[in-house]
Structure 1
Amino acid sequence: MSFDVDLFVIGGGSGGVRAARIAAGYGAKVMLAEEYRVGGTCVIRGCVPKKLMVYAGRFADEFEDAAGFGWRVERPRFDWSVLKARRDAEVTRLESIYDANLMRAGVEIVPERAVIEDANTVRLLKSGRLVRAQRILVAVGAHPVKEPAVPGVELAITSNEVFELESLPERILVIGGGYIAVEFAGVFAALGSRTTLLHRGDKLLRGFDDEVRDALADAYGKRMDLRLGVTLAEIERRDGGLAATLSDGSVIEADQILLATGRKPNIGGLGLDRVGIVPDAAGAIPVDEFSRTHVPSIYAVGDVTNRANLTPVAIREGHAFADTEFGGKPTSVDHHLIPTAVFSTPEIGTVGLSEAAARQQCGEIDVYKASFRPMKATLSGRDEKVLMKVIVECATDRVLGVHLFGQDAGELIQAVGIAVTMGATKADFDRTIAVHPTAAEELVTMRVPAVTKHPVGVG
């Protein structure tokens, strides 16, 4: 059987691009189809442009804090149009780099939608061309959904449309309790919008350590109108804006309502039914530890598999796929230990088990904890705290989890993640010399457990 290409990648996001480049580097003939823009959600309308907006918002704190250090700063004025133009230009620049890197690797890019025709054939919808491929990799990501499906929900926007706003909304209601909702609520509050964050649960960021969740709620309660334990009932147009009626009967008026309540895999019209691939209950493509579907020639990576919906994970999955299938190096991805950050203000960085999960899974644990006012705040006067937690298994002294809340937590957790991934013990942390004066030194100077399941000093 002859093939046009060794690998056909459907989707030009982080996972698909990495898989295509690495496979091509092993000598494979690769074609990649992307119907929108190469770079995917992260680069085009996700992590990258959102982080640029986070940076923009944090200047507001910097201007305020400067006064405590002797700087006289005239009242600053924010211009949304400048941020939007420069942010969009940077996204375009990055997209061109992705294109160039793919072409330099020898990957053929096809700017149109592709669907699966059979186990070894892909149809390009615009041209009608059929491409025979030895292997097909599905890396089409996911899309935001407008939920709950209440009356007037069509009036709301999602995280996709946020980047198209031509002006900064004076009032915005953000609905959701995950990464996206928390980060955008922080951005808009910092940039000057009157912001309400609404979440149906009693805590934000399900799955994170409870004390970190409480610290975030406390900080956000000072920065915006935080409403927990209530839901959206209806949206309607009113007086040139929008009005959201909540489950408790209250009404919030806003210029924009952002729904950040979930995302679903992009499987619609993909042709999965033609090859007998049945999505799971979440609408994702089921795969094994090597990203293989039950069809031997078809694979999937990234958010479309709903394993761990994070850009670095998709990249790692794409790389592992290429190593396995084209590099002769069978590689699977461990989804159980993933350092991650939430770019709220203050930031969150976490790796490993939360205190609650560690108690449930590992039995006896020690919890080392530090909560303090950062040095910068002593002169700036800002009312914010840093929280650090280290979770340790008593029987082995192994560090099970590290949870950080405060400035630069995202940067810190990357380095800490290396140690935890390598199986570091609390003794390894203790014998590491502190860098002083830093907030991070607390990670290696905590000696007495705040919570213990055995006598202090044992283990």
Structure 2
Amino acid sequence: MSDFDFDLFVIGGGSGGVRAGRLAAETGARVAVAEEYRYGGTCVIRGCVPKKLMVYASRFSESFHDAQGYGWQVDGTPRFEWPQLRGAIHAELDRLEGIYRRNLANSGAKVLDGRAKLVDAHTVEVAGERYSAAHILIATGARPFVPDIPGCELALTSNEMFLLDEMPESIVVVGGGYIACEFAGILNGLGVKVDLIYRGSQILRGFDGELRNHVAHEMEKKGITIHTDCSVEEIEKTDAGVRLHLGGHGSIEAGAVLYATGRIPLSRNLGLDEIGVELGRGGAIRVDEWSQTTVPSIYAVGDVTDRMALTPIAIREGAAFVETVFRSNPTKPDYDLVPTAVFTQPELGTVGMTEEQARNTGEIDVYCTSFRSMAHVIAERDERMMMKLVVARDSGKVLGCHIAGEAAGEMIQMAGIAIKMGATKADFDRTVAVHPTAAEELVTLKAPIR
């Protein structure tokens, strides 16, 4: 028996922290996990899960229209009741939080409620109680960033979107990343008038340029007004809501403003500076390839390290930490060829290199198609899908796959397996198509367009 109270103390009850705590406890280690808000973290409580439920809800506005094209008689005007959806979402979040707590407790870990702060390299304080641990893992995640401009206190963030008493009639969404674009689609689908303001020349920076343009065009067709090369200098409260003063672009009024301009690591006031844990840009905890900080007994995983801010990555980092520290099996997280989806409307799924990135590696062939889904033809909905493969010309290896349209997230998961295995364009070509599906286009792209 060691001289410490615990073999591992985890600060943060989100996806990465809970996975690490549970797996470590299953090795027989004595584990404690502390969370100051709700178990499940950003993804489960105020991120991916409630957001995806709102995406589902928002799609019904188009489904009612589509149904008529298929012969269904929809009598009267469909009406959306936000309080009913909000209640259903929070009931589901309560259920999921209960599962997280039970899984931790069933693994043998001690579950603590309260804010944890480091006292020294082996000591943590929670609600006035001090606990010692051989290893400490920080998995506190990140929080929404709102720039310090006049009136910034009037802005909503993604944290508050699931707690609103009522939906505004109109809203300005500031930002051009996946959170901003997802909420723009959600709110538009729920009947809110949406303006999206982004300081760059096109939304979804970092994704494939052709797909970015396609998604932006489809969003605008659905009624979202996108303002690019535009920034907010001041937010002013009005009787009807807010007025945003735009640098060189006049002003715009709406019932509310949502800021989705990035997230910053939650590393402040944890006692890190006092004990010598080195921080990087934006307060990200610096770690090595094994997730170890500059203090040997302290590790960090997930968004607080600002490596790759995805829930499945935090889970993989937590598992790799346990393999390394508690199973004597040194394991590094794998960040290569990670598939991901953006639940914009239409969805965007991507894995591997963009066309722009691939052109810096050598000669490539680009296969791309745009078409209207069979489901939308009879419904007379003017929405197009896009699919794209980026292929190395010399080897035929598929370097990237990009999909915009219905079920893009589902398709990219499967495409990601093939590309992770090193599939070539010839492998795609010799795979028999599943007909009639949209996904069959991935294996019927015959000639490169450039």
> TM-score, normalised on structure 1?
0.96
Q: 1:304 & 1:235 partners in 2: Cα distance?
A: 29
2:269 equivalent to 1:269: yes
Deviations 1:249-269 (A, max 9, x none): 422111110000011101111
- The secondary structure found in structure 1 opposite 2:313 is helix
Q: Is the 8 A contact 1:391 1:402 kept in 2?
A: yes
- The secondary structure found in structure 1 opposite 2:351 is strand
Letter in 2 for 1:166: D
Q: Is the 8 A contact 2:278 2:293 kept in 1?
A: no
Letter in 1 for 2:135: R
Q: Is the 8 A contact 1:174 1:197 kept in 2?
A: yes
Q: Quote the offset at 1:134 in angstroms.
A: 0.8
Letter in 1 for 2:41: G
Letter in 1 for 2:121: A
Q: Quote the offset at 1:294 in angstroms.
A: 2.0
Letter in 2 for 1:14: S
Q: Quote the offset at 1:240 in angstroms.
A: 3.1
- The secondary structure found in structure 2 opposite 1:336 is coil
Letter in 1 for 2:18: V
2:402 equivalent to 1:403: yes
Q: 1:191 & 1:434 partners in 2: Cα distance?
A: 36
Which residue pairs with 1:159 in the alignment? 158
Q: Quote the offset at 1:48 in angstroms.
A: 0.3
- The secondary structure found in structure 2 opposite 1:346 is coil
Which residue pairs with 1:2 in the alignment? 3
Letter in 2 for 1:87: I
Deviations 1:140-160 (A, max 9, x none): 00001212x221111111111
Deviations 1:195-251 (A, max 9, x none): 111101111111000011000110111221111111112111122311111113422
Letter in 2 for 1:322: V
Give percent identity, aligned residues only.
Answer: 55
Runs of 4+ residues over 4 Å off in structure 1 = none
Q: Which moved more, 1:52-61 or 1:230-239?
A: 230-239
Q: Quote the offset at 1:282 in angstroms.
A: 2.7
Q: Quote the offset at 1:135 in angstroms.
A: 0.5
Q: Quote the offset at 1:336 in angstroms.
A: 2.9
Q: 2:422 & 2:120 partners in 1: Cα distance?
A: 44
Q: 1:34 & 1:425 partners in 2: Cα distance?
A: 45
Deviations 1:171-218 (A, max 9, x none): 111000111100001000000001111101111111000011000110
Q: Quote the offset at 1:122 in angstroms.
A: 1.1
Q: Is the 8 A contact 1:302 1:313 kept in 2?
A: yes
Q: 2:397 & 2:7 partners in 1: Cα distance?
A: 44
Q: 2:213 & 2:359 partners in 1: Cα distance?
A: 19
Q: Quote the offset at 1:427 in angstroms.
A: 1.2
> TM-score, normalised on structure 2?
0.98
Q: 1:240 & 1:68 partners in 2: Cα distance?
A: 38
2:280 equivalent to 1:280: yes
Which residue pairs with 1:345 in the alignment? 345
- The secondary structure found in structure 2 opposite 1:235 is strand
Letter in 2 for 1:255: G
Which residue pairs with 1:14 in the alignment? 15
- The secondary structure found in structure 2 opposite 1:442 is helix
Q: 2:163 & 2:43 partners in 1: Cα distance?
A: 16
Deviations 1:395-425 (A, max 9, x none): 2211111000000001111111111111111
- The secondary structure found in structure 2 opposite 1:316 is helix
Q: 2:19 & 2:355 partners in 1: Cα distance?
A: 35
- The secondary structure found in structure 1 opposite 2:4 is coil
Deviations 1:97-126 (A, max 9, x none): 1001111111101101111111111111x2
Which residue pairs with 2:365 in the alignment? 366
2:225 equivalent to 1:225: yes
Which residue pairs with 2:72 in the alignment? 71
Letter in 2 for 1:25: E
Which residue pairs with 1:455 in the alignment? none
Q: 1:378 & 1:36 partners in 2: Cα distance?
A: 47
Q: 1:328 & 1:251 partners in 2: Cα distance?
A: 59
Letter in 2 for 1:31: A
Which residue pairs with 2:132 in the alignment? 132
For the aligned residue pairs, the C-alpha RMSD in angstroms reads 1.0
Q: 1:412 & 1:328 partners in 2: Cα distance?
A: 36
Q: 1:396 & 1:301 partners in 2: Cα distance?
A: 36
2:133 equivalent to 1:110: no
Q: Quote the offset at 1:275 in angstroms.
A: 2.0
Which residue pairs with 1:308 in the alignment? 308
Letter in 1 for 2:174: I
Q: Which moved more, 1:136-145 or 1:418-427?
A: 418-427
Q: Quote the offset at 1:299 in angstroms.
A: 0.4
Deviations 1:318-365 (A, max 9, x none): 1111111112222111223210000011100000000000111x2111
2:379 equivalent to 1:380: yes
Which residue pairs with 1:454 in the alignment? none
Q: 2:30 & 2:104 partners in 1: Cα distance?
A: 12
Q: Is the 8 A contact 1:341 1:349 kept in 2?
A: yes
2:317 equivalent to 1:317: yes
Letter in 1 for 2:52: K
Q: Is the 8 A contact 2:397 2:422 kept in 1?
A: yes
Letter in 2 for 1:284: A
- The secondary structure found in structure 2 opposite 1:382 is coil
Q: 1:249 & 1:367 partners in 2: Cα distance?
A: 38
Letter in 2 for 1:130: R
Q: Quote the offset at 1:394 in angstroms.
A: 1.6
Which residue pairs with 1:27 in the alignment? 28
Q: Is the 8 A contact 1:177 1:206 kept in 2?
A: yes
Q: Is the 8 A contact 1:141 1:302 kept in 2?
A: yes
Which 5+ residue runs of structure 2 have no aligned equivalent?
none
Q: Which moved more, 1:194-203 or 1:319-328?
A: 319-328
Q: Is the 8 A contact 1:291 1:299 kept in 2?
A: yes
Q: Is the 8 A contact 1:307 1:335 kept in 2?
A: no
Q: Is the 8 A contact 1:143 1:264 kept in 2?
A: yes
Q: Is the 8 A contact 2:173 2:180 kept in 1?
A: yes
